[in-house]
Amino acid sequence: MVEEKTIKIVRATPRDAYALSVLTKEYFDYAQLDSAKIRARLENGDYEYWLARDAESGALAGFIDVDFTSVPGLRKEGDAAVLAMPEAPEAALPKQAKILGLAVLPEFRGRGIARRLVAKAAERARARDCIKIFLLVREDNEGARGLYEKLDFALAGALAEKLWNQKILLYAKELKN
Ligand SMILES: CC(C)(COP(=O)(O)OP(=O)(O)OC[C@H]1O[C@@H](n2cnc3c(N)ncnc32)[C@H](O)[C@@H]1OP(=O)(O)O)[C@@H](O)C(=O)NCCC(=O)NCCS
């Protein structure tokens, strides 16, 4: 695919909280993240949001957000059933990055923007010494599953419990530094 030169991948700042809250409501309403919560994440180094922005118009084309606290986060969010982690002090556990949200606006889809956003998330995860990057996706989200499979993520399990009456799958990719 020809790289879209006018689309720049840039780190979000707290000033982007409102725009991100609108997109989050559109695509991940269940997450119940308002702009105050997103702003708090943007000010907290444990999370990174990256934007795809059209350099000519300034329009927001999409975003990805990544949680770098995933080892303790996994237990907190009850994912431990799918990722058996060894009993070890937290500091000794290998670090992993969790993609929390990824969306590209319909008019910008099919141009390799999600591919670039996921590549940026993986690049940041490597830079932060993570050994793995993973995400959860609804079984019926064939578009997202097609994307992750194309990007060499492997199906690594499923949550024991259904959420919103949907089976939730885990996709993961090992990262080599
Ligand atoms: C899924 C989504 C992020 C894809 O964004 P995109 O920018 O159109 O994806 P890309 O153009 O970067 O696609 C990269 C690759 O993934 C594959 N892919 C993308 N969308 C796909 C789809 N709907 N079905 C199958 N494969 C798909 C493409 O084949 C492409 O491979 P190619 O480059 O070899 O052609 C976008 O459709 C979206 O925002 N959906 C709604 C929100 C959502 O479901 N987010 C994921 C939640 S986990």
Nearest CA, atom 12, ligand 1: 112
Query: Once rounded to an integer, what is the mean pLDDT over residues 127-133?
Result: 94
Residue at 1 is within a domain: no
| Position 118 in a domain | yes
Q: Is 112 inside any structural domain?
A: yes
Residue 2 within any structural domain of the chain = no
109 lines ligand 1 (CB under 6 A): yes
Using 50, 70 and 90 to split pLDDT, how confident is the model at 22?
A: very high
**Residue 1: is its pLDDT beyond 80?**
no
- The whole domain housing 117 covers 7-174
pLDDT number for residue 90: 56
Nearest CA to ligand 1 atom 16: 147
pLDDT above 70 for 161 = yes
Give a yes or no: residue 52 inside a domain: yes
DSSP for the chain, please give it: ----TTEEEEE--GGGHHHHHHHHHHH-GGG---HHHHHHHHTSTTEEEEEEEETTT--EEEEEEEES-HHHHHHHTTGGGTS---S--GGGSPPEEEEEEEEE-GGGTTSSHHHHHHHHHHHHHHHTT-SEEEEEEETT-HHHHHHHHHTT-EEEEE-SS-BTTB-EEEEEEE---
Residue 87 lies in a domain: yes
- Structure token pair of residue 177: 């530094």
Global model pTM greater than 0.85: yes
Low-confidence winner among 81-85, 89-93, 134-138, 163-167 (lowest mean pLDDT): 81-85
Residue 16 alpha carbon to ligand 1 centre in Å: 23
- The answer to whether residue 84 is domain-embedded is yes
Q: What is the CATH number of the domain that holds 79?
A: 3.40.630.30
What is the tens place of the pLDDT at every residue in 45-85? 999 999 999 999 999 999 999 999 865 334 434 444 445 44
Across 140-167, average pLDDT = 94
Count of the separate structural domains present in the chain = 1
pLDDT-derived band at 92 (thresholds 50, 70, 90) equals low
127 lines ligand 1 (CB under 6 A): no
Going by C-alpha positions, the residue among 3, 8, 114 that lies closest to residue 60 is 8
Q: Is 130 exposed, middle or buried (0-12, 13-18, 19+ CB in 10 A)?
A: buried
